[in-house]
Amino acid sequence: MSAAEPSLDALIDALRRLPGVGVKSAQRMAFHLLQHDRDGAQKLATALSGAVQRVHHCRRCHTFSESEVCAVCADAGRDASKLCVIETPADQAALERTGSYRGLYFVLMGRLSPLDGIGVRDIGVAELLERAADPAVQEVILALGFSAEGEATAHALGLALRARGARVTRLARGVPVGSELEYVDLSTIAHAMSDRR
């Protein structure tokens, strides 16, 4: 806007640090909040401070948690023989919603991405190997995405885990539920054919 309004400029600059928000979007957001939703702006400020202060990582699975050990890890009813490795807390939420998995998790909080400078240390591979060495863990399920980076991460983790004697499985690749075969991409069909049961 103008150099005469430092608070407004500071707000626009701060909003630009959000992923996917450029200068036009940041202006539109600042304008919207100040013109139509000052209560929302105040709530967002409080929520940001609160989350930065209180949200840390679960000591066992690395997901976001307000307590030292997250609710899932602390749940004695979960099957401790299975450890599912996922990329993000959002993936964990999706798996939980399916109701098909009752084991524990390890959240990488990312995936290997050499181009973005994300290496083995950033996704906590050492912590995962240590966690998987727990004698209670019978099976490590790699539930990473089937993108190029997800595949590369799964490959590297699989090698390291198997070298330490762990039993490693991956999510099945196949035709999505509810889809017509003619619209599914060929590589998916080929995988579904070779993994038929």
> Per DSSP, what are the bridge partners of residue 107?
86
Burial class from Cβ neighbours inside 10 Å (0-12, 13-18, 19+) for residue 120 reads: middle
The tokens for 61 are 């699975």
What lies within 8 Å, CB to CB, of 15 at 6+ separation is: 21, 25, 26, 29, 30
Query: How does DSSP classify residue 182?
Result: G
Nearer to a second copy, 5 or 195 (CB): 5
Per CB under 8 A, contacts with a second copy among 132-151 are none
Which amino acid is located at 133 in the chain?
A
Least distance from C-beta 71 to a second copy, angstroms? 4
Quick one: which of 22, 55, 80, 159 contacts a second copy (CB under 8 A)?
Answer: 55
Return the SS3 of 97.
Answer: helix
- Is residue 45 a contact point for a second copy (CB under 8 A)? yes
- Is residue 52 a contact point for a second copy (CB under 8 A)? yes
Per CB under 8 A, contacts with a second copy among 91-120 are 92-93, 96, 109-110
Nearer to a second copy, 97 or 196 (CB): 97
- Name the site residues for a second copy (rule: CB under 8 A): 1-2, 4-8, 10-11, 13-15, 17-20, 25, 27-35, 37-38, 40-55, 64-66, 70-72, 88-90, 92-93, 96, 109-110
